[in-house]
Amino acid sequence: MVNGLLCKQGPQVRFLYPPPIKELAMEIRKLMKAEPRIETGVTQFGSDWPGVFLRGDNAFMLANKLRNIIRDHSIDIHNDPELKSIIDLLESCNVNKSHE
């Protein structure tokens, strides 16, 4: 890692911005009911930085699409821990899937 922006993996060097995600909150954090209902999109809490909020059904459908792209292009996600972490996070929103 050079200056937190370049990552060398084998013969490849990738530009990373922002730097790799170190930890993702995988547990479900339950907040008070939002009125009106929050839809998928950019959301800001108080004076914190805006972030992207994905409704659960949108999140796990996006994870499924990403897995299909990975499969169709023979991408090994074990060589890309950030991508795997994002897919795992998106899939964690599926209340119909058992969480380990």
pLDDT tens digit sequence for 39-63: 999 999 889 889 899 998 899 899 9
Answer yes or no: is pLDDT of 1 > 50.
no
Region of 3 (left: φ > 0; alpha: ψ -120 to 50; beta: rest) is: left
2 pLDDT tier (thresholds 50, 70, 90): very low
pLDDT tens digit sequence for 16-33: 555 555 566 667 778 788
Q: What is the pLDDT of residue 22?
A: 59
> 20 Cβ partners below 8 Å, 6+ apart?
7, 81, 82
pLDDT tens digit sequence for 62-77: 999 999 999 998 888 8
